[in-house]
Amino acid sequence: MIVYGRTTTFRGLVCEAHARERLQHDLTSTLLLGWWGAISIFVNGLYIVPTQIASLVRLPRLFASTAAPAADGTTRPSQS
């Protein structure tokens, strides 16, 4: 039997679409592969997965606060 664990951190400037894509990829990987160790089942189930879901929920608010006002006074997400 092979036991393998990997922790990654992403830092960078991305648009909302790419941030969502990255978070969804990380959440899917954790849900599929993060349950195979005695420690991982607790760390991933009680901390990592809830944190990733909370990040996905908060994402629109994060980008709304950085939206630049348009000429007509409305706001649109900034392009990056």
**Which residue ranges make up the site for Zn ion (CB under 5 A)?**
15, 18
User: CB of residue 72 vs Zn ion: minimum separation in angstroms?
Assistant: 24
Q: For the CB of residue 80, give the shortest distance to Zn ion in the complex, in Å.
A: 6
**CB-nearer residue toward Zn ion: 18 or 58:** 18
List the structure tokens of 17: 């679409």
Cα–Cα dist 13/15, whole Å: 7
Q: Shortest approach of Zn ion to residue 17 CB, angstroms?
A: 6
Q: Nearer to Zn ion by C-beta: 18 or 25?
A: 18
Q: Which residues contact 80 (CB under 8 A, 6 or more apart)?
A: 13, 14, 15
Cα 73 to Cα 3, 57, 66, 67, distances in angstroms = 55, 26, 15, 12
Of 15 and 67, the one with the shorter C-beta distance to Zn ion is: 15
